[in-house]
Structure 1
């Protein structure tokens, strides 16, 4: 049974990587205004397979998280934190009384 859990975890890791790559391809196709239905259908199939594997893994008693190296590449660099400046109120100049 332990071998089956390890095999499921390995398949889930590989499936996650494939899904990330397919999503990247789909986003590129969308950006080029191309038809992405084939890739989207493949992603849906991968999600269905993933769901079945996760259910089987849970049935076998494995609840530990599966770590996958992130393939996420930010689209724009992170913005630096803003420096807050206290607001000053403008007041009319004071008239001197003679």
Structure 2
């Protein structure tokens, strides 16, 4: 049973990566105002397969999350705060003020 769970987890991981790539292709096609129904249908098929695999996995008793590390964008460390900049006032030249 462990082999089947590992196999399901491996397929789910691969499907997630494929779905992410297909979504990127679909968004690029949308941005170029191109037809994207084929890619959208493929994504829906992948989701159907994924749903069946998730159900089978939960029936086998595996409830741990499946992480795909390269899908996560690492957070940037916080930038150090800058010293406050003193506001400068614009003063008209002395000659213009007298006229």
TM-score, structure 1 normalization: 0.72
Q: Which residue matches 1:25? A: 25
Question: 1:72 & 1:27 partners in 2: Cα distance?
Answer: 19
Question: 1:35 & 1:52 partners in 2: Cα distance?
Answer: 28
**CA displacement 1:32-59 (0-9 Å, x = unmatched):** 0000000000000000000000000000
Can you give the 5+ residue segments of structure 1 that lack an aligned partner in the other structure?
Answer: 74-79, 81-98
Can you give the 5+ residue segments of structure 2 that lack an aligned partner in the other structure?
Answer: 74-78, 80-99
Q: Which residue matches 2:2? A: 2
Question: 2:71 & 2:58 partners in 1: Cα distance?
Answer: 26
After the TM superposition, list the runs of 4 or more consecutive aligned residues in structure 1 that deviate by more than 3 angstroms: 70-73
TM-score, structure 2 normalization: 0.72
Return the structure number with greater helix share.
Answer: 2
Deviation at 1:69, TM superposition (A): 1.7
Q: Which residue matches 1:35? A: 35
Q: Which residue matches 1:94? A: none
Question: 1:72 & 1:6 partners in 2: Cα distance?
Answer: 22
The residue matched to 1:62 in structure 2 has which SS? coil
